[in-house]
Structure 1
């Protein structure tokens, strides 16, 4: 009887969710989503092109920004097929293997982005605390980037393999537009304690540790800035941190909120989970190029020059 039940429910597919009950207007809803993806892909691509082609921007701050733009671009590409598939073609099915591959890339890119944001906080701290040594960071950037990627691959690679061990015999309906580990593992009809502990450990070692170190970096930055006697220099020092601080808030706020909901607040309303899920995967890649373009006069001038030509 158990084998029959498993055959009945295990369809080798997960089913993604758009906005439940709003299927009739999904095509209209797709318009702002398409716009967000266009802004994300074009915005991050333009930033990468300008930083690569303009030698005056080959300094640590902009190289770290190019790393962030690359990660955001890849994250948008990872989520775009399933998100637009839901709203354009009402295609909600995704195979197990495709789902595991998608969640691997999503979590890998988020781990890398968290690392890059931490490096950018360190970059801002050195630029303010010890500007004479700031140029020396340039020689370490390639090694820093490699460490970010290796850390992400090492931590995230076991997750899809751990998920493949399970038998999935539930309805397999996911509450988001893409596959996320903390939700997929709950679809299993097996003991998921190992996955849960490992996933929580990864979250603590990446998101929580990185965000804590970023906070400590800003405490040191603030302490350094307050020691500056000139009010104008104090404001100038703080102004170079504004865009990075915005990027940090855009990235960590929805990520931590969604993680807390899935792990510690299982009874939370789908009306909270679904919009937060879209904010989690869509908003940072869209807003980061806008924020940095607005706050960096040098970068903004180059972007305007490219489009005027």
Structure 2
């Protein structure tokens, strides 16, 4: 089968013929229909410092996907050939304290699909049935392919109650844009989104931001005044991983404000812990999705009218993966999709 592979310990990717994966008891074989390009995939293509530490070539990339079940292994009873599915890309041990307590998203032995083992940028992918999410309601395959990052957005945005709250979202990448749509759907009062890309700020406006603020030109404090906020933001969703973004968020939170942090910094940096203490601000780290409560919430949000279509801005046949990766890396985009049926 064809697959996009990090074949050597150097920058670049190749489209190669690789063996089709086999399945055993409890496994599911899936014909891939669509995949989404993630920032992780861009790091692996560039073979930066993180990728050099995290991956070993040869490796089939990809963890955002939707596909059709073609075969199930012995013991799989609730998934059938023909089902449209997505995959939870965090494979857990099932034996540690957190796994046994039903907190699989906190497993210390998590292995990432397309990072620690061969992934879904291929014509077929195999997964344990426990990592397969069946779409019981109709969903466009393009949307089903981005359930992984959509789950990051939902997990982050719904970490704290949003009804009637003033929300600050720092970082208008695809996940920040999806979080904006979720916050609007969930009943936030005012939503301010910050970035330095006018293209992505416009996407944020499209999905419901009350104010999309270019922080190269204006400050968050100025945004507060523009909306008439007197005491700061109730909820912060930090999606950028940028030191200056978190610092400005902390400086503009109300007393007792709550911050969910998904953006992954590239280095250590200082924050104003005195402000965090004296303002009694809550910081919560977010990684991945809660299995599978977040997935249930995602499906329900879509069933009740949440529209993610504006987030997808690029669609390419998988053979044009180089152009698709360039598009995703360029910054003037939302989510970029590879079509494995074209």
| TM bracket (short chain) | under 0.3
Greater RCO, CA 8 A, separation 6+: 1
Return the TM-score normalized by structure 1: 0.25
Greater share of strand: 2
Mark the structure with the bigger radius of gyration.
Answer: 1
